């Protein structure tokens, strides 16, 4: 965790419980959490408030990529910190953006680059030269092989494998257990072994879907 004595978590969720534990291991206080739901007043023994004014630094602890991005946009200019579980292995020359969280047992090999407000979840492996955009969620026990790229806002489901050099576009959803062996355009829902495009949400993806489905 970056040098700080406290951090406020925006999002009183299960994901927040994990980030709270990382903070505890780093001897960093979480005075309270912030949540938009007025019915939520407590999480794991910590108070929950409903206004982030004056609270800093922050981590947005929402697992959903789009909701996390929307909250960051709503908050505007803020100070964010990056947290890394002490059991994670992060190469000295790997780069982590602000607001990003790296969970227990994750491995980030040399020259990995991870953007802002992304989640590298429990036991995920990012091999050399992998590039991960902003607001990405790499779910537990994914393997992202060397030189692969994952675009902004994309969710890679638990236990998925992305082979070396593959490029996954922005705002995609890769279903759990998938094996991605071809490039995926922006805005696609994909799953399977090998992963197939099931649904496309933008015209560029629709123009390429037949080629992808053709194997």
Active site residues: 128
d(CA 52, CA 8): 9
Residue 27 CA to residue 202 CA, distance in Å, equals: 45
Length of the chain: 215
Q: Report in angstroms the alpha-carbon separations of 120 from 42, 56, 72, 105, 137.
A: 26, 23, 18, 10, 6
- Name beta bridge partners: 161: 143, 179
* Cα-Cα end-to-end distance for the chain: 43
């Amino acid at each position: 965790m970056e040098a700080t004595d406290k951090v406020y978590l925006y999002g009183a969720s299960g994901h927040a419980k994990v980030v709270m534990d990382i903070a505890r291991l780093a001897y960093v206080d979480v005075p309270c959490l912030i949540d938009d739901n007025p019915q939520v007043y407590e999480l794991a023994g910590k108070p929950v408030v409903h206004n982030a004014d004056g609270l800093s630094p922050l981590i947005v602890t929402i697992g959903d990529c789009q909701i996390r991005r929307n909250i960051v946009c709503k908050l505007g200019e803020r100070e964010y910190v990056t947290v890394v579980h002490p059991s994670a292995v992060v190469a000295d020359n790997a780069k982590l953006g602000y607001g990003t969280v790296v969970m227990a047992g994750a491995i980030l090999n040399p020259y990995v680059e991870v953007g802002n407000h992304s989640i590298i979840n429990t036991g995920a492996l990012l091999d050399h030269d992998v590039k991960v955009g902003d607001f990405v969620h790499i779910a537990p026990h994914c393997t992202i092989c060397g030189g692969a790229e994952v675009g902004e806002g994309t969710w890679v489901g638990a236990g998925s494998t992305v082979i070396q050099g593959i490029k996954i576009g922005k705002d995609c959803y890769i279903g759990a257990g998938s094996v991605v062996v071809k490039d995926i355009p922006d805005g696609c829902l994909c799953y399977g072994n090998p992963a197939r495009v099931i649904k496309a949400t933008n015209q560029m993806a629709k123009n390429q879907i037949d080629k992808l489905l053709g194997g």
